[in-house]
Amino acid sequence: MEKRIEKMTKDIQRTFGLNDYFLKTYHLSRRVNSLLQTNYYITMEWFPNQYAKWVEDTNPDGTAVIEVDFHTEDVNSIIFVNGVTYTTKEQVFPTPDLEHIIDWIEVMTGLTWGRQIQLHSQSLDKKEFHFQATVDNMPVWPTGTIDLEFNHHDQLVSFTKDGVFPSEEMLNWEPFSLIPEATAYIASANCKLMKVPGDTSWKYVYGIHDQFVTNDGKKHFPVDTVTRNGTFKKMDVLLEWQEKKTSDNLKINEQIQVERNISIEQAISHEPAPAVQQITEQDMDACIHEATHYLQAVAPSDTGRWRLCEVYRYDIYLIAILKQTNKDYDVAIEPRHTLFIKQDAELYHIVHVLDDKALWDNLYVNLKEPKAAVITKEQAFEKLQKHVTLTPTYVYDVEKQSYELCGKISCPYFVHAVTGELSLIDL
């Protein structure tokens, strides 16, 4: 065992009172966060001593699975399997008391209550507590989360920390200047007719797509474009062709190979993960070519009916997202093709495809077609407008590498396009 790892394992065993445990196994991994930073982790599995001869594939009750940041040595998660713990230092863990939990989180993570974290929700019956990242009591996006769970003996059995918790130094601070009246036109423009599944048939509803608006009001963009843990390019390329292609030479059944075996040398050198590599013009051109070739083979009559909407990196792959075009409505569960594209030297080829359209067609095959919309967009927005919220939110800007103040436009309701009924979104 490498000396650095040996030291970390001994520190963990001593800190959390794992005297009645032995280290069964450990492994290294790496992940890319929303700031496009590569972080390395060591995950340890500690078995209770009474399971020294355990031969099952699953972990026995009471196993302590602990993940630690390889470079900072911060504890990222602690999970006791099936809610059973044999720790001899219960006093180092919190009780299910909110004040005690907050104090423990501050010590464990180095985060400051109110300035970097806030309570999001709690369930006293289930003894679960959920926290999220904040900056001076203002939400951030993408958000960081901390979750804790206790068993019926009031023992901590799960602690997980995920995402980024920015400090004030990472902000471009400014007073919030947006007002609902000035952003109403953006909410109205994003009030869309959507086709959603019902109990026995599809139905048309109007809803407002969540948007971020920059504090100067000059730019707005969908919330879901700020959640990629890898380099990302927004695209809008109509895919067209003249000739049909054969699908015989499409090899798209390759098993997705996600990195699992990280070496100690990679961890020590802090090697950047493949997902943080920039997406080049060559990459984008290759994705357009591969997407067109794929559709020519599997949907030869669909020329001009699909768009390449985005490309992003996932592990060693380029992911190309294809969405249908020329629709008079949006679809809550939108048909799309997700292409996994692999580069070998200068050659690109599709190795795997997720066909969401085929999946949803099979899932909702028995649903009847919806009745035609009667309510207009203007009538629907009049009902929705009073429920639109504008929330100050710090949003990470990859290009500026800082958090910029925005307003988040959101609405938790939709309007039935036939009856005009206003209902909470539950899709």
Q: What is the mean pLDDT of the chain?
A: 91
Specify burial of residue 156 (Cβ count, 10 A radius: 0-12, 13-18, 19+): buried
| pLDDT (tens digit per residue) in 406-424 | 999 999 999 999 999 999 8
Whole-number Å distance between alpha carbons of 74 and 161:
10
pLDDT given for residue 331 in this prediction: 59
pLDDT given for residue 403 in this prediction: 93
Q: Characterise 197 by phi-psi region: left (phi > 0), alpha (psi -120 to 50), beta (else).
A: beta
Bridge partners of 197, per DSSP, are: 202
Asked if 148 contacts 159 with a C-beta cutoff of 8 angstroms, the reply is yes
pLDDT-derived band at 350, boundaries 50, 70, 90: very high
pLDDT given for residue 359 in this prediction: 78
pLDDT given for residue 134 in this prediction: 94
Q: What is the mean pLDDT of residues 356-380?
A: 86
> Which pair of structure tokens corresponds to residue 267?
């961890």
pLDDT given for residue 332 in this prediction: 57
Whole-number Å distance between alpha carbons of 359 and 72:
42
DSSP 8-class letter at 91 = G
Whole-number Å distance between alpha carbons of 118 and 249:
54
> Which pair of structure tokens corresponds to residue 303?
């020329």
The residue extents of the domains of the chain are: 3-170, 172-427
pLDDT given for residue 229 in this prediction: 77
Q: How long a stretch of residues is the chain?
A: 427
The answer to which of 168-172, 260-264, 296-300, 333-337 has the lowest mean pLDDT is: 333-337
pLDDT given for residue 244 in this prediction: 76
Q: What is the mean pLDDT of residues 295-315?
A: 92
Whole-number Å distance between alpha carbons of 186 and 381:
11
Whole-number Å distance between alpha carbons of 354 and 323:
12
Computed on alpha carbons and rounded to an integer, the radius of gyration of the chain in Å comes to: 25
Strand residue runs (E) in 75-155: 75-80, 117-123, 128-135, 138-141, 145-150
Listed residue (207, 196, 194) closest to 367, CA to CA: 196
Q: What is the mean pLDDT of residues 284-299?
A: 93
Q: How many helices (H) and strands (E) does the chain have?
A: 7, 24
pLDDT given for residue 330 in this prediction: 64
> Which pair of structure tokens corresponds to residue 65?
């699975």
CA distances to 142, 222, 356, 411 from 333, rounded to whole Å, are: 22, 16, 9, 18
Is pLDDT of 169 > 70?
yes
pLDDT-derived band at 99, boundaries 50, 70, 90: very high
Question: Are β-strands 138-141 and 389-397 bridged in parallel, bridged antiparallel, or unpaired?
Answer: parallel
Q: Residue 271: what are its φ and ψ, rounded to 5°?
A: -60, 130
Asked if 183 contacts 348 with a C-beta cutoff of 8 angstroms, the reply is no
